[in-house]
């Protein structure tokens, strides 16, 4: 088995959830359609894992239950679960989720991305790094890193 | 950041330029744009105490010093200071004008000595301080003495002084539970205020010199997200803070005489005199009291705007 490159060489793959059903209210342009958890989930479910040909949804890294939107305070929170508890890609995955949401949601939204409690060995350190907007901004000025992130986001819709 | 005269404001940002603003009639206009000095985001700028120089710290790992050309509105980059391994986060001039300090994500604080010579400006590295264990976010000089304070990602604040031989770390202030983003001295330099990702603001008081500091007040429950910047007015003593919750707050120290029991200064109380939610559309990143004109302050935010405010204190 090729474990030289892959940290988790045989990840468990989960079933995709069904697409959101369109309701009559969605087609009514007169109604204000507020951003909800499902919409945030739809934005990030198609992000690719940095080392596997699967999406974050298929690897169960993200799920609708772990997305939260507070429209009143303009806050969006996402908790993600790395596939293994010592995954060195955790920061990169979190960064990809953050970039996707920064690009997609209205700019006033505060975006908080965390590791699901208890799912990673260096949870606190990764969370602190992801919450530091100055370091996130500096990271995204790094051409190489930005390419990797864009690669992960390529086929997400 | 305000020019020492209070009439010009400088701003910087991710667009790699510095803009100088001044009042023209009743409106503020961009008077000059300093560009081509940096390859990446300009994170911080600082005026020299005389106002003749402007220093800028950038994510491109360099610090530039700009000087106004004689008898003109134009500024030119006179020197680029290199040495940090990665992003420079903050820059500050000492009150004496003798030193310039920078700090970086490489965990170090550098002290540069300004060497006056005819026709050219030179800076010599006087010390590289490696006391922080993480990313250093901010450096601030004491308002009177050549004492430097720094803070950062390791949740601590550190103070440094020249012991005659070299610069040494003479105090470490621990109490914040997350990244310390900014620090500000009061006008006497006896007190220091700090703000953090733990959403609190702390006031520290020095006892018997600059090596012994004690946290005398923790202001919590005022900001709902990280507090990114603080400015302690040296003309009126008001404290101004700003944070990731788009809010700006002005605090004033309670009159200790009327509350009686605080004569030993061991506990100090501060009250909110102004709270402005939605001061900006997005995170507020910096606040600065005008050093010369009382009651004026400037703020800037992630929404790419700079705002100038007039603050009137009501008699409480």
* ipTM entry: 0.84
Does the domain formed by B182-316 have CATH 2.130.10.10?
A: yes
Indicate which of B59, B182, B280 best probes the interface with A, i.e. most A CBs within 10 Å of its own CB: B59
B64 CA to chain A: closest CA distance, Å? 18
Answer yes or no: are the C-beta atoms of B215 and B175 closer than 8 Å.
yes
Residue A153's pLDDT is 86
Average pLDDT over residues A44-59: 87
Cβ burial A101-137 (10 Å sphere, 16+ → b, else e): beebbeeebbbbbbbbeebbebbeebbbbbbbbbbbb
Could B40 and A141 be called an inter-chain contact, meaning their C-beta atoms sit closer than 8 Å? yes
Residue A23's pLDDT is 66
Residue B254's pLDDT is 84
> Does the pLDDT of residue B121 top 80, yes or no?
no
Q: Does B244 touch chain A (CB under 8 A)?
A: yes
Q: Whose CA is closest to B300, among B40, B39, B15, B4?
A: B15
Could B197 and A131 be called an inter-chain contact, meaning their C-beta atoms sit closer than 8 Å? yes
Could A133 and B179 be called an inter-chain contact, meaning their C-beta atoms sit closer than 8 Å? no
Mean per-residue pLDDT over chain B, rounded? 89
Instruction: Give residue B217's region: left, alpha or beta (phi > 0; psi -120 to 50).
Output: beta
Asked if the structure places residue A85 within a domain, the reply is yes
Q: Does B285 touch chain A (CB under 8 A)?
A: no
Residue B262's pLDDT is 47
Q: Does B243 touch chain A (CB under 8 A)?
A: no
CA A44 to CA A57: how far, in whole Å? 8
Q: pLDDT for B186-196, tens place per residue? A: 999 999 999 99
Residue A3's pLDDT is 42
A7 CA to chain B: closest CA distance, Å? 27
B303 CA to chain A: closest CA distance, Å? 8
Provide the domain limits for residue A139. Answer: 34-153
Q: Whose CA is closest to B14, among B47, B44, B54?
A: B44
Residue B183: pLDDT band (50, 70, 90) is very high
The pTM of the full predicted model, rounded to 2 decimals, is: 0.86
Decide which of A31 and B268 is more confident: B268
Closest-CA residue in chain A for B89? A134
Residue A120's pLDDT is 83
Q: pLDDT for A106-121, tens place per residue? A: 888 999 999 988 888 8
Asked if the structure places residue A64 within a domain, the reply is yes
Average pLDDT over residues A77-101: 89
Closest-CA residue in chain A for B58? A138
Domain boundaries, chain B: 1-174, 182-316
Q: Does B225 touch chain A (CB under 8 A)?
A: yes
Average pLDDT over residues B158-176: 92
Q: Which residue's structure tokens are 């009042």?
A: B23
What is the radius of gyration, based on Cα positions, of chain B? Answer: 19
Asked if the structure places residue A95 within a domain, the reply is yes
CATH of the domain at A77: 3.30.300.130
Q: Whose CA is closest to A36, among A65, A79, A57?
A: A65
Asked if the structure places residue A11 within a domain, the reply is no
Q: Whose CA is closest to B276, among B303, B253, B307?
A: B307
Asked if the structure places residue A68 within a domain, the reply is yes
* A110 closest CB neighbour out of B41, B59, B244: B244
Domain count, chain A: 1
Helix axes A143-153, A90-104, angle to 10 degrees: 70
CA A70 to CA A109: how far, in whole Å? 9
Quote the Cα angle for B281-B285-B102, to 5°. 160
Residue A2's pLDDT is 43
Q: Does B280 touch chain A (CB under 8 A)?
A: no
Partners of A133 on chain B (C-beta within 8 Å) are 244, 283
* A110 closest CB neighbour out of B86, B179, B225: B225
B153 CA to chain A: closest CA distance, Å? 9
What is the percent of chain A with per-residue pLDDT over 90, rounded to a whole number? 24
In B40-69, the residues whose Cβ lies within 8 Å of chain A are 40-41, 43, 59
Instruction: Give residue B222's region: left, alpha or beta (phi > 0; psi -120 to 50).
Output: alpha
Q: Which residue's structure tokens are 């700028």?
A: B45
Could A107 and B303 be called an inter-chain contact, meaning their C-beta atoms sit closer than 8 Å? yes
> Does the pLDDT of residue A47 top 80, yes or no?
yes
* A141 closest CB neighbour out of B59, B105, B137: B59
Closest-CA residue in chain B for A112? B225
Cα B75 to the chain's mean position, in Å? 22
Highest mean pLDDT: which of A77-91, A143-157, B178-192, B254-268? B178-192
Residue B80's pLDDT is 92
> Does the pLDDT of residue B258 top 70, yes or no?
no
Residue B160's pLDDT is 95
Asked if the structure places residue A134 within a domain, the reply is yes
Average pLDDT over residues A80-101: 88
Weakest-pLDDT range from A74-88, B142-156, B227-241: A74-88
The gap between the terminal CA atoms of chain A, to the nearest Å, is 33
Pairs of residues, one from chain A and one from chain B, whose beta carbons lie less than 8 Å apart:
36
Q: Whose CA is closest to B170, among B140, B149, B188?
A: B149
> Does the pLDDT of residue A34 top 90, yes or no?
no
> Does the pLDDT of residue B132 top 90, yes or no?
yes
What is the percent of chain B with per-residue pLDDT over 70, rounded to a whole number? 94
Could B281 and A107 be called an inter-chain contact, meaning their C-beta atoms sit closer than 8 Å? yes
Asked if the structure places residue A22 within a domain, the reply is no
Residue B266: pLDDT band (50, 70, 90) is low
**H or E, element range at A70:** strand A67-70
CA B17 to CA A1: how far, in whole Å? 52
Residue B246's pLDDT is 93
Residue A31's pLDDT is 63
Partners of A137 on chain B (C-beta within 8 Å) are 14, 41, 59
What is the percent of chain B with per-residue pLDDT over 90, rounded to a whole number? 66
Residue B69's pLDDT is 79
Task: Enumerate chain A positions whose Cβ falls within 8 A of a Cβ in B.
Answer: 107-108, 110, 128, 131-135, 137-138, 141
Residue B137's pLDDT is 95
Q: CATH code for B1-174?
A: 2.130.10.10
Residue A38's pLDDT is 83
Q: Does B292 touch chain A (CB under 8 A)?
A: no
Average pLDDT over residues B90-98: 93
Residue B315: pLDDT band (50, 70, 90) is very low
Weakest-pLDDT range from A16-30, A58-72, B208-222: A16-30
CA A24 to CA B19: how far, in whole Å? 51
């Amino acid at each position: 088995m090729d474990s030289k490159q892959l940290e988790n060489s045989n990840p468990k793959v989960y079933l995709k959830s069904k697409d959101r059903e369109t309701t009559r209210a969605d087609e009514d342009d007169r109604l204000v359609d507020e951003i909800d958890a499902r919409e945030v989930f739809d934005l990030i479910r198609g992000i690719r894992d940095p080392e596997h040909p699967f999406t974050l949804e298929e690897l169960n890294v993200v799920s609708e239950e772990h997305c939260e939107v507070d429209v009143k305070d303009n806050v969006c929170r996402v908790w993600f679960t790395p596939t293994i508890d010592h995954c060195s890609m955790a920061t990169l995955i979190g960064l990809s989720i953050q970039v996707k949401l920064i690009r997609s949601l209205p700019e006033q939204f505060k975006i908080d991305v965390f590791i699901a409690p208890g799912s990673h060995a260096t949870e606190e350190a990764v969370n602190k790094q992801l919450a530091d907007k100055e370091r996130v901004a500096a990271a995204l000025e790094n051409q190489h890193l930005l390419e990797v992130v864009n690669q992960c986001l390529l086929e997400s819709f | 950041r305000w020019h020492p005269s209070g009439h010009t404001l400088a701003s910087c940002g991710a667009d790699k330029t510095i803009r100088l603003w001044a009042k023209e009639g009743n409106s503020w206009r961009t008077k000059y744009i300093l560009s081509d000095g940096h390859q990446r985001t300009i994170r911080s700028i600082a005026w020299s105490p005389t106002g003749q120089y402007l220093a800028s710290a950038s994510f491109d790992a360099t610090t530039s010093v700009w000087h106004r050309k004689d008898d003109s509105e134009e500024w030119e980059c006179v020197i680029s200071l290199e040495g940090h391994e990665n992003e420079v986060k903050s820059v500050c001039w000492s009150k004496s004008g003798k030193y310039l300090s920078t700090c970086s994500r490489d965990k170090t604080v550098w002290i540069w000595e300004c060497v006056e010579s005819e026709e050219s400006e030179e800076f010599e590295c006087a010390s590289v301080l490696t006391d922080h264990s993480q990313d250093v976010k901010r450096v601030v000089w004491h308002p009177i003495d050549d004492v430097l304070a720094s803070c950062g990602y390791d949740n601590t604040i550190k103070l440094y002084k020249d012991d005659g031989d070299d610069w040494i770390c003479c105090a470490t202030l621990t109490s914040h539970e997350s990244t310390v983003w900014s620090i500000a001295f009061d006008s006497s330099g006896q007190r220091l205020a700090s703000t953090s990702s733990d959403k609190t603001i702390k006031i520290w008081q020095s006892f018997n010199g600059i090596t012994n500091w004690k946290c005398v007040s923790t202001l919590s429950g005022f900001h709902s997200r990280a507090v990114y910047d603080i400015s302690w007015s040296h003309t009126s003593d008001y404290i101004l803070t700003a944070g990731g919750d788009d809010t700006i707050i002005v605090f004033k120290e309670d009159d200790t005489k009327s509350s009686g029991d605080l004569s030993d200064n061991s506990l100090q109380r501060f009250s909110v005199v102004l709270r402005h939610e939605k001061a900006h559309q997005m995170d507020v990143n910096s606040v600065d009291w005008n050093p010369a004109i009382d009651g004026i302050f400037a703020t800037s935010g992630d929404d790419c705007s700079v705002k100038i405010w007039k603050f009137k204190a009501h008699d409480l």
